[in-house]
Each structure stands twice: as C-alpha cells, then as structure tokens.
Amino acid sequence: MATDQPSWERFDRRRRLGRFVAVLVSAVIVVASWQFMEIGVVDPNTVPREIADLLTRMYPPDVAYTRQIVGPLIETIHIAALGTAGALVLSIPVALLAAENTTPNAATFWLGKLIVTVSRSVNTIIWALIFVVTFGSGPLAGAVAIAFRSVGFLGKLLGEEIEEIDFGQVEAIRATGASSLQLLLYGVLPQVKPALVGLAVYRWDINIRDSTVLGFVGAGGIGVQLFRAVNAFAWQSVAMVLLVILGVVVVTEALSAYTRRLVR
Amino acid sequence: MLHVTDLQKTYDTGDEALRGVTTAVEGSETVAMIGPSGAGKSTFIRCVNRLTEPTSGTVELDGTELTALDSDGLRAARRDIGMIFQEYNLVERLTVMENVLSGRLGYVSAWQAFRRSFPAADIERAYAILDRVGLGEMADKRVDELSGGQRQRVGIARAVIQEPKILLVDEPTSSLDPETSNTVMRLLTEIAAERSVPVLINIHEVDLALDHADRILGLHDGELVFEGSPAELDDHALDRVYRGDERPDTTQSGEKTPETDSHDTPKTADKSVVGGV
Amino acid sequence: MATGERSWQRPTVFRSHRIKWTVYAGLIAFFVWSAVGIGFDPARVLQGIGNTAVLVGDFLPPDATAREFDRIVAKMLESVAMAMVATVTGIVVSVPIAFMAAENLSPKPLYAINRGLISVSRAFNAIIVAILAVKAVGFGPLAGIITITFKTVGFFSKLLAEDIEDIDMGSVDAVRATGSSPIQTLLYAVAPQIIPRFAGLSVYRWDINIRTSTVIGIVGAGGIGSVLLTAFNRYDYQYVSAILLSIIVVVLFAEGVSAVVRRRYQ
C-alpha cells in the first residue's frame, strides 16, 4: 500500500492560479499600454543619460537669482494660506451636509456628496485654468482654485469624522436642554477638533506644493518665475527656484507635523 | 412631581417596548426600576425627557405636560431634568469642569457656550459640587484620563448642577465594579436627599435597588408588573418581574440576580443630531 | 475655609492664554497681509463670481464633434496607459530604494542619499517634474512615464521604508541564524511582514497616478492634458466641459476600483 508523502504548499491551487492570472493580466496591460503609446524601443541608456545631462546643467545653482524669487515665493505662500483658510470655512457646512448623522434630509446629503465629488475630481491646476478666465490672471484666481479643490478634500474627510463621533456624548448635552447650535459647539466640535486641525494643516501642506505650479497657467506664485526660467533654458536659475521650493516644503511639513501633535 | 400615564412606545421595527405604563414619582423619593433585559426600562426613562419619542401617553413633570411641548418648550423643560447615563456620555476631550458646566448650557447663549464664558455663579456651583462628589482637585483634568467611577461622579455633578426637579438615571453602575457601584449609588442618593430631589433610577442589580431605593417598580416586557416598597419584593414578585408569571413556592429560594447587559434600547432612527430636538 | 469666588479659565493647548492670543492675532495679521498680497478686492471678487456664473452657461452643454470625441478617447487612453506602465515601473524601482532607505537595514550614507531622493520626489508637484522631464527627453508620453514613475517612487519608497523599519528584527535574526543567505532572509523574514499592505498601497497609488496622468499633458508630457489646454486657449468651453467630463468619469472609475480592491484585500 503506497503511503502518501506529506507535502506542504504555501498557497493552495486556487490562490496560486488567481495570483498567476493577476500577474499575467497586469503584464499584458503594461505591454499593451506601451505599444499603444508608440514610444517605440527606448534605449535604456538614453533616458538616464539625458536626465543626467539636465542635472549637470543645473549645477551650480544661481544664488543671485534668489532676489527675484522672494516676492513670488511670498505670493505662493499667500495663495496657499488664503485658499486653505477659505476652504476650511466652507468645508464645515459641506461636511455637515455630507455626513449621514448631521444632514437634514436626503436631498442635502446628495448635495453635499456632489460638491465633494466634483471638487475632488478636478485637479487644482484645472480649477486654476477656469478661474483665470473669470477672475483674471494673477494670484486671486490661484487662491480660488486652491480653495475649490480643498473644499472637497476637507469636506469628505471631515464628514467621515463627523459620522464617527460618539453619539452618546451629544445626546447627553441635548438632555441638559441645549440648543442645536450648542450641541454642535459643545458636543460635536470637541470630538472632531483634532481631525479638523490635522486635516486643515495637512491640506495646507499639499496646497503649498500645488501653489508652486499655478503660475504655469497664469494664476500667480513662483510658478511664473519657474516657467520663465525653464523656457529660457536658464538651468541654474531653475535649480535655485527648485532649492527654494524644497526649503519651503520642508519647513511646511515640519510645521504641519508639530501642529498635529499639539492638538490631539 | 412626575406623573406618567399610559405610556406606550412601539419602535419602527414593530417592537413594542412599552405597552401602557402608568406610574408616578412623588416628593423626594428614590424610585428604582428593575426588570430583565429588553423589558423597556431604558425606553421608559428616555421617554420621560423625550430623548426617545413616546408613541402615545402623557408625561407630566411638576404640572407641565412634557409630551405636549414644542421643541423650544421641551428644551426649556429639559433644563429641569438631570440625566445620568450608563456609559457616562461625557465629552471625553473636554475637562471635568467643562463637562460639569455643560449642565448649565440651557441658560447661556451659543456664543457664551463657544467661549466657555459661564456666569460666576455657575462656576461657584460647579466647584462646590465637584468638592461634594470628591473631585475638587480634578477640575482641569481631561475626562479621558479618569477612571470609570470618577467619570460617573462627573456625570452626577453635571446632572446636579442643573438644580433639576428630578434626576433620571439610566443604569449608572453597569460599567462599574461592585465596590464602586455601591459608592456611586450612595453618593447619588445622598446628594438627592440633601437637595430634596426625587430620583428615578433604572437598574438591573436588584440588591443595589433594594439597598438604596424607597420604592421599586418592576417592568416586564413593557408592562408594569410590580410597584411597592423593597420589603414587598418577595420571590413571587421577582418571578413576576423576571419571568413574567407567578410560580408556586416550590421554586428555588433566594433572589436571582439575572445577568443582563441592559441594552434593551434597540438602535433606533432617532439618531440625528440636528433636525430633531 | 473662605468660600470666596473661585475663578476658572477654559483650558488651552498653548502654554498660556497670552501665547494663545498672540498666536491668533499673528494668524489674523498674516491672513490680512495675504489678502492684500493677492489683491483681494471685494469688488473684484464679486465681479469674478458674476463672471463664473456666466461662464457656467458657456460650459453647458458639453459638446464635441465626432473627430474631437475620437481625440478625447485616444488621448484619454494614452493617459491611462501612461499611468499603468508608470505605476509598475515606479513600484519596481521603489522596492530597492525602500530597502536602501530603511534605517535598520542600510548603511548610513546609502540611507541618507535615498531618503534625500525620496524627499525630493515628494516635495515637487508632478507638473514641475513633468516640465523637467519634457525638457530632458522631449514632448510625449515618455516624459509622462518618467514623471509618474519618479513621483511613485517618492510615495511608495517612503511608506515601504517605514514598514521595513517597523518589522520585527527578531524574526529576521532568527532566520539569519539558520544560515540563510541575504536573499533568503529577505524572502522569508522581511517580505512576509511588509507584503500585506502592498496590494492596497499599489492600487491606491495607481488611483493617484491616473489623476496625475490627466493633467501633466498641460506641459507636454502626454495624455489628455494637452487637449484640454488647447481647448481653453481657443475659448471652446463646451469642448472643455466634454473633456472635463471624461476626466471626472475616469477618475471616479479609478477611485471605485481602488476602493473595491482595498476592501477585498485589507
């Protein structure tokens, strides 16, 4: 009588097949995509070589250019700050509308969701294109674009926070005879405050980065400077701008982390 | 003081939680309501201040018919009703003092609430009550740093600062260990007695009810099946309350404290924060 | 004991109330300065709002001729194709970089360089990267693939490196103690601890990459962005709106797929 040899396989046949199919499909999609784009065969040396070439031209960065960067840089910071602040204020009613437990009725709920979806699906720079048309070119259009994109981001995440609150805490406040507004201020707000501050500061961080490119479409900020320098092939000036942007982003990220730790 | 007449509550799911309960709480007595899980004890208490809307029946507090009030009237009336919850229901991120002061929200504007600028008299009241419940040193501690027993004492302080006409207490000791439970119950009844405030307390630990209450109400399946003093709560009565029937004396002696986890309030649609009162 | 009046002040996260008010005052001053800086003139804002209302009329209904519609489809496919390829290349490149950027497995200088690379990738908006890529390799989807790959590396490597740093070194040591080679250690001790999040993170990044691929065409890096820009410059707002619609549809679809996959595998 033959005795079966004990065996062990990490994944059973079905999962193995599943993984194999997934990898196969991915590979097919990638190859098909490559073909579709008609890029042709790329010499694996060309790309790194050309990138290295570009990077060498950027060294050393033109420090003197800094004087021309400061103004636009400050403008960029203004755009991000105002856009984020404006969005924060607007996102609170939107979040209340988009949260199942605070929205008055089904129609307002869908309105909230609609605002959030449209805002989030359109990239900031596209919003900037639109608002340059209506507000004229310049940082005002940029700030509005930042605000429009951020409302959806903040509204959605804030709404989710509101849906997660402990309803019991709110009910107890209601039982003391508090008004609806007091309920929001004393029962809901304290529960969502860490998220409110954290999300606002997180979005501000992202908005600083987004604000740097708005100048490409005429919406103000350091993007104007950068665009000009790139088109003039002034690579050392470009490098200086990039360094300054890097610096601002690092500081912003540190501030963001500090603030979020402060309010827990 | 409190008169409940033919109170009924049927939830949207069809669950008949209260089938016409009529009772009263007078003077400054402490009334304990006992009964198995699902009997409707929580529903009853929540119907008194209309956190849960009764389907029919009337609730009258000190001459005012609560069930007939509009939302503004109800809000004003709730100031006179202090409620203490099983899960404490304190705003965790706020301090003890802020939570106690929230009992006075019905007397200040929204702006004052936002700025936490309560009248000096309220502050004085708050400190006095915190001293009374033994939390005088903890006024500025965040609630989430407190133990269960301490949190429940904050809950008591919050209800008491309202200077209410009645205290409604919903399973105050379910989340506490036996020793703390006793301390809390004693504190509650003492304070109520000092201020001559009647207490209606919903409890499933029968021994605690017997120790601290002047009168016992027994609820079974939405109906009031016992009403009397602790001494009158014999085995027959207990059977009626917890089993719903009379059993002959040959059953086991001694009271049985049934295990319940007291979530006899099904999740209802009354969950919206605004839009309802 | 004197029963005098006791006062109370609401708590604050700042160390004192004076600090709190200083910070608030500073913030308000900053915002006022910003408003002036960007030319926040109520009249101008109102006019802008009015213009926007009018513009909405110009946007509706979305319209595209047959040829324009074909162009949208073709370029949208190009965007998606870019995102597909670049997500894969990005993830593939991220893995070694993540290992080199993990404090517990990588020597100090290598760690520093790779962490620097990750920071640079995360600091710059994709459009900036795209502009540089276009200048390096020319217009077209190749620049787009380079851009998205680079951005993916920054995202993926950072998270992967953090996961690697969080692993239980005990099990790694245990496997190493059996005498296995570095590769075997990797496969047996390290990989199983970081792979669970892999699928979710990959599809999450793919979602973001789809979004990016729809805009980098604005600076010439392939995809539908260039069509959008041209339409704007021609004031052909109904065409713009048709393009936007297609972008929104694709983005929402990608988000849906991402949500489904993440729910199934987390």
Domain ranges of chain C: 17-59, 66-265
**How close A163 gets to chain B, by Cα (Å)?**
11
Q: Which two tokens stand for residue A232?
A: 């003039």
Residues of C within 8 A of B123 (CB-CB) are 5-8
Whether the pLDDT of residue B249 is over 70: the answer is no
Q: In 3-state terms, what secondary structure has residue C78?
A: helix
Question: d(Cα C179, Cα C42) in Å, to the nearest integer?
Answer: 73
Question: d(Cα A207, Cα A123) in Å, to the nearest integer?
Answer: 12
- The residues, ordered by sequence, that sit 6+ positions from C68 with a Cβ below 8 Å of its Cβ are C239, C242
Binned at pLDDT 50, 70 and 90, residue C5 comes out as low
pLDDT of residue A224: 92
Beta carbons of A47 and C142 less than 8 Å apart: yes
Whether the pLDDT of residue A102 is over 80: the answer is yes
* Cβ atoms B10, B16 nearer than 8 A: yes
Question: d(Cα A176, Cα B161) in Å, to the nearest integer?
Answer: 10
Q: What is the pLDDT of residues B197-217, one digit of tens each?
A: 999 999 988 888 888 999 999
For testing contact with chain A, the best of C118, C120, C127 (most A CBs within 10 A): C127
Whether the pLDDT of residue B152 is over 90: the answer is yes
Beta carbons of A78 and C34 less than 8 Å apart: yes
- Tell me whether residue A25 is in a domain: no
Alpha helices in chain C (DSSP H): 17-37, 42-59, 66-100, 108-123, 126-137, 141-166, 169-177, 182-185, 191-194, 198-215, 225-233, 237-265
Is domain B1-77+207-267 annotated with CATH 3.40.50.620? no
**How close C1 gets to chain B, by Cα (Å)?**
13
Alpha helices in chain B (DSSP H): 41-48, 71-78, 96-101, 110-115, 120-133, 148-160, 178-194, 206-212, 235-242
Q: pTM for the whole thing?
A: 0.83
Binned at pLDDT 50, 70 and 90, residue A52 comes out as confident
Binding-face residues of C in 244-263 toward A, CB within 8 A: 244, 247-248, 251-252
Question: d(Cα A225, Cα A240) in Å, to the nearest integer?
Answer: 11
Which among A168, A186, A194 has CB closest to B87? A168
Q: B141: nearest CA in chain C?
A: C11
Instruction: Kindly compute the dihedral angle of the four CA atoms of residues A218, A153, A207, A214, in this order, to the nearest 10 degrees.
Output: -10
Map tokens 């079966």 to a residue: A4
- Tell me whether residue A97 is in a domain: yes
pLDDT of residue A61: 85
**Which secondary-structure segment (H or E) carries B224?**
strand B223-228
- Tell me whether residue A248 is in a domain: yes
pLDDT of residue B99: 95
Choice among A166-180, B93-107, C1-15, C82-96 with the minimum mean pLDDT:
C1-15
Q: Which two tokens stand for residue A156?
A: 């959605």
- The residues, ordered by sequence, that sit 6+ positions from B1 with a Cβ below 8 Å of its Cβ are B24, B25, B26, B27, B61, B62, B165, B166, B198
A189 touches chain C (CB under 8 A): no
The residue-averaged pLDDT of C101-123 equals: 90
Q: Provide the mean pLDDT of chain B.
A: 86
Which among C5, C10, C11 has CB closest to B120? C5
b/e for B115-124, b at 16 or more Cβ within 10 A?
A: ebebeeebbb
C4 touches chain B (CB under 8 A): no
Q: Provide the mean pLDDT of chain A.
A: 89
pLDDT of residue A3: 56
Q: In 3-state terms, what secondary structure has residue C47?
A: helix
Number of residues assigned to chain A: 264
**How many contacts (CB atoms, under 8 Å) link A and C?**
156
Beta carbons of A169 and B91 less than 8 Å apart: yes
In this structure, the number of other CB atoms found within 10 A of the CB of residue A79 comes to 36
Q: Which residue did the predictor score with more confidence, B99 or B1? A: B99
**Strand B2-10 relative to strand B16-25, pairing:** antiparallel
Q: Which of B106, B102, B101, B151 is nearest to B128 (CA)?
A: B101
Q: Which domain holds residue A211?
A: 63-262
Helix axes C237-265, C225-233, angle to 10 degrees: 150
Q: B103: nearest CA in chain A?
A: A176
Q: What does the radius of gyration of chain C's CA atoms come to, in whole angstroms?
A: 26
* Cβ atoms C94, C156 nearer than 8 A: yes
Q: What is the pLDDT of residues C138-157, one digit of tens each?
A: 899 999 999 999 999 999 99
Is domain C66-265 annotated with CATH 1.10.3720.10? yes
Whether the pLDDT of residue A2 is over 60: the answer is no
Q: Which of B214, B206, B138, B205 is nearest to B175 (CA)?
A: B205
Whether the pLDDT of residue B226 is over 60: the answer is yes
Whether the pLDDT of residue C12 is over 50: the answer is yes
Residue A80 sits in a domain whose CATH number is 1.10.3720.10
Whether the pLDDT of residue C54 is over 90: the answer is no
Indicate the number of domains in chain A.
1
Question: d(Cα B107, Cα B119) in Å, to the nearest integer?
Answer: 10
Question: d(Cα C252, Cα A264) in Å, to the nearest integer?
Answer: 33
pLDDT of residue C191: 74
Q: Which residue did the predictor score with more confidence, A24 or B215? A: B215
Q: Which of C132, C130, C102, C104 is nearest to C115 (CA)?
A: C102
Whether the pLDDT of residue C184 is over 90: the answer is no
Whether the pLDDT of residue C71 is over 60: the answer is yes
Residue B132 CB burial class (10 angstroms; 0-12, 13-18, ≥19): middle
Edge to edge, what strands does the sheet with B16-25 contain? Answer: B16-25, B2-10, B56-61, B64-65
Q: Is the ipTM of this complex over 0.90?
A: no
- Tell me whether residue A89 is in a domain: yes
**Strand B215-220 relative to strand B30-34, pairing:** parallel
- The residues, ordered by sequence, that sit 6+ positions from A11 with a Cβ below 8 Å of its Cβ are A19
Binned at pLDDT 50, 70 and 90, residue B246 comes out as low
pLDDT of residue A202: 94
Whether the pLDDT of residue A252 is over 90: the answer is yes
Q: What angle do CA A49, A50, A55 make, to 5 degrees?
A: 95
Q: Provide the mean pLDDT of chain C.
A: 88
Whether the pLDDT of residue B277 is over 50: the answer is no
What is the Cβ-side half-sphere exposure of residue C51, based on CA atoms within 13 angstroms?
Answer: 14
Every domain of chain B and the residues it spans: 1-77+207-267
Beta carbons of C7 and B98 less than 8 Å apart: no
Q: Which two tokens stand for residue A179?
A: 């008004």
Q: What is the pLDDT of residues B73-111, one digit of tens each?
A: 999 999 999 999 988 999 999 999 999 999 999 999 999
The residue-averaged pLDDT of C96-108 equals: 88
Q: Output phi, psi for B16, to 5 deg.
A: -85, 95
Whether the pLDDT of residue C41 is over 90: the answer is no
**How close B190 gets to chain C, by Cα (Å)?**
22
Choice among A105-119, B73-87, C94-108 with the minimum mean pLDDT:
C94-108
Whether the pLDDT of residue C227 is over 60: the answer is yes
Choice among A16-30, A220-234, C250-264 with the minimum mean pLDDT:
A16-30
Task: Tell me: cis bond preceding A60? Omega within 30 of 0 counts.
Answer: yes
Question: d(Cα A125, Cα A117) in Å, to the nearest integer?
Answer: 17
For testing contact with chain B, the best of A97, A162, A169, A184 (most B CBs within 10 A): A169
